[in-house]
Amino acid sequence: MDARARIARLFAAAGWRRRGLAAALGVAAAGALPPVHLLPLAFAAFSGLLLTLRAAAAERPAAAFWIGWWFGAGFHVAGLYWIANALLIEWQRVGWMIPFAVFGLSAFLAVFVGGACYAVRRAGGGTLAGAFFLAALWTLAEIVRGTVLTGFPWNLIATVWVETETVLQLAAIGGAYGVSALSVLLFALPATLRARPILAGAAGLALAVGFGAWRLAENPARDVPDVRLRLVQPVVPQALKWDPEAREANLERTIALSRSPGLETRTHVIWGETATSFPIWGDDHPRFVERRRQVAQAAPPDGVLIVGAVRVESDAAGGIAAWNSFHAIDSRARMLANYDKHHLVPFGEYVPFRGILPIDKVVPGSLDFSAGPGVATVRVPGLPPLSPSICYEIVFPGRAVDAADRPGLIVNLTNDSWFGYSAGPFQHFAAAKLRAVEEGVPVVRAAGGGISGIVDPFGRVTARLGLEQIGVLDANLPVAATATPFARFGAGIAAVGLAMLMLCGFWIAKRSKIDGD
């Protein structure tokens, strides 16, 4: 028995052994994601997945679906375990959701992986053709899960490269989905157990590294003149954020941090999502006006404060509506700009089918948030036109900026205190890096708790406050790059790439002798 046959036998398990193997391979794939970044695990995982599918080629196509489903379940449970942390903060009220939020969500997301593997099986061909099919169909599954039911494009395979800035430059061309497709192809090629495909993959990776190195060298860091930022990270424990007895102290602490030495040298101070748990804009109520004056103490003397807060207004029916908002105010408490979050978190900020599901949302309070009108470019004095982004709005490829009114930066306000010291905040910051490279604009990310930082339009982190690090970050604003191919053409480039991968797979399948199976 030669080496190829012995390796093939390792993946020829059945029953629970096969399911356990597929789930373990999915967990291994998650090990390549932030914050672990063990890239060799991605090669083992996707090559193992393809070999397991190949071993089941003589069985019904449904077998391929279940191999993919178990792989996807392992991948998502290992990658999304941290969601449970948010539900443990008020475990008496929402702790019962943990099995649904972690295992239920992972089981649902695994359906997309199962569907991709089913389609790989139906497409036919040997292992080399299967590598091309898997790359295209896995990425198509990422696109679909990032779209249906409001979408959840978390932990795209492209994310494994966020610490490899040279390879990350490919996102400027094909976006995260294009990088995912090429990555899965690269990771699956060792399954062919043939020298030529593996060497071709290595050569392709070398070309990507070379292209990225050239692009970074040709675009040294440059700063926007006369913009001096201060990002404030108070790290208020989530359990105390909305506590009536702690809210005032939390706000005063954030103001004091903002006013620490050097404020007079800053032009803009930026707070995170819902950094003040008191509304400061909405109905013209004296309480809101007074709170706005209090918050304005954190603004530079002749500058601007950007702050996340809940906006509250009376609706036409005499009730109350609330938005998760971005405000810009000056030191005289004048409101300069506003943006309302439009992509809300299901069950976190609102309950879908509220009339059918009589349950609480995770964020305290019985009132669901209302959605804003959509992606926008706003003008804040002293800054280039900017695209506000609140919390997980930053994870959606191609939906971070208004292409018709291109901004000079993305300002992402977030609060990852929900998730404690876990993989979640690292994965969230990684998504921000991908958006910067895709759009060719810097991302300024202020986290009330989590990771604050500034990413230039090439994915280089120019300044950063680490997870759970209390303090302020004084830094400059990088200059935006020219519009990238992805910014110009969007997902069209990735769509063409997926079609080419499928055509290559069919061509190889027809010439099965090339595959060697």
- Concerning whether 341 is annotated as a catalytic residue, the answer is yes
pLDDT at 488 over 90: yes
pLDDT at 286 over 90: no
pLDDT tens for each residue of 121-146: 999 888 999 999 999 999 999 999 99
pLDDT at 160 over 90: yes
pLDDT at 391 over 70: yes
Across the range 78-102, mean pLDDT stands at 91
State how far the Cα of 433 lies from the Cα of 165, in Å rounded to an integer.
Answer: 10
State how far the Cα of 322 lies from the Cα of 312, in Å rounded to an integer.
Answer: 5
Residue 516 is predicted with a pLDDT of: 47
Ranges 148-152, 365-369, 453-457: which has the least confidence: 365-369
Residue 340 is predicted with a pLDDT of: 97
Q: Which of 241, 391, 438, 439 is catalytic?
A: 391
pLDDT at 348 over 80: yes
Q: How confident is the model at residue 99 (pLDDT cuts 50, 70, 90)?
A: very high
Q: Which of 210, 224, 142, 161 is nearest to 441 (CA)?
A: 224
Residue 357 is predicted with a pLDDT of: 72
Q: For a pLDDT cut of 70, what percent of the chain falls above it? A: 97
- Three-state SS for 312? strand
- Concerning whether 391 is annotated as a catalytic residue, the answer is yes
Residue 273: is it exposed, middle or buried by C-beta count within 10 angstroms (0-12/13-18/19+)?
buried
pLDDT tens for each residue of 236-255: 998 888 888 999 999 999 99
More confident residue, 216 or 282: 216
Across the range 441-464, mean pLDDT stands at 97
Run of H or E residues at 461: strand 461-465
What DSSP letter does each residue of 85-141 carry, written as one string?
A: HHHHTTHHHHGGGHIIIIIIHHHHHHHHHHHHHHHHHHH---HHHHHHHHHHHHHHH
Tally of CB atoms within 10 A around 366: 7
Q: How confident is the model at residue 514 (pLDDT cuts 50, 70, 90)?
A: very low
Residue 94 is predicted with a pLDDT of: 84
Q: How confident is the model at residue 283 (pLDDT cuts 50, 70, 90)?
A: low
Residue 515 is predicted with a pLDDT of: 44
Residue 496 is predicted with a pLDDT of: 94
pLDDT at 285 over 80: no
Residue 389 is predicted with a pLDDT of: 98
Compute the mean pLDDT over every residue in the chain, rounded to the nearest whole number: 93
Q: Which of 273, 393, 438, 439 is catalytic?
A: 273
Residue 284 is predicted with a pLDDT of: 66
Residue 122: is it exposed, middle or buried by C-beta count within 10 angstroms (0-12/13-18/19+)?
exposed
8 Å CB contact between 119 and 496 = no
Q: How confident is the model at residue 4 (pLDDT cuts 50, 70, 90)?
A: low
Across the range 158-174, mean pLDDT stands at 97
Q: What are phi and psi of 411, to 5 degrees?
A: -110, 110
Q: How confident is the model at residue 177 (pLDDT cuts 50, 70, 90)?
A: very high
Q: Which two structure tokens, joined as six digits, stand for 347?
A: 């069950």
Residue 2 is predicted with a pLDDT of: 63
Q: How confident is the model at residue 467 (pLDDT cuts 50, 70, 90)?
A: very high
Tell me the range of 283-287, 450-454, 510-514 where mean pLDDT is highest.
Answer: 450-454
pLDDT at 513 over 60: no
Residue 343 is predicted with a pLDDT of: 95
Across the range 401-429, mean pLDDT stands at 96
Across the range 345-364, mean pLDDT stands at 81
- Three-state SS for 43? helix
- Concerning whether 513 is annotated as a catalytic residue, the answer is no
Question: What distance separates the 2 farthest-apart alpha carbons in the chain?
Answer: 83
Q: Which of 142, 165, 341, 438 is catalytic?
A: 341
State how far the Cα of 198 lies from the Cα of 309, in Å rounded to an integer.
Answer: 52
